[in-house]
Amino acid sequence: MVYGDSDRLQSEWSGDVNYLNRLNVLLYVCDESAMALNAHDWYHALITLFRELSTEFKAGEEIKGDKFIEEINPLISKGNNNLNRSGTLSIDTNLYKKLHKFEMFLRGILKSSGLQNKMKEDASGALK
């Protein structure tokens, strides 16, 4: 089966469900890591989500995402994810806010791309 203008043969099987499942798992990891104040895992889940969403980017979104990564990476590298003396994870407030804003940015891309919409009717047509 040939798809669109491409002369490359396409599979009859769609990866839509797997793609949405990967996004869902990454969002779950982001939520759990944020609640546990685990900056390292949260950051890497966001980077993976950023990569998964790269096919949905509009003009300027890749540059904005790269800027988030450039700002956050040095903070992660400083070891803000170490255990404090009480045995719980601690996170710098500035780092937390930057991770939060990065996640909000990525969730905005999910929503504007139609990947995070509430379905009012039959969901069977959502992956077409």
- pLDDT tens-place string over residues 66-80: 999 999 999 888 764
Tell me the domain boundaries of the chain. 16-116
The closest alpha carbon to 44, from 4, 86, 103, belongs to 103
Sequence-ordered list of residues with C-beta below 8 angstroms from that of 55, at least 6 positions apart, any chain: none
pLDDT tens profile 26-53: 999 999 999 988 899 999 999 999 999 9
Q: Which residue from 77, 86, 78, 95 is spatially nearest to 37, judged by alpha carbons? A: 95
Share of the chain above pLDDT 90, in %: 41
Other CB atoms within 10 A of residue 31 CB:
13
**pTM to 2 decimals?**
0.75
- Residues 28, 109: Cα–Cα separation, whole Å: 17
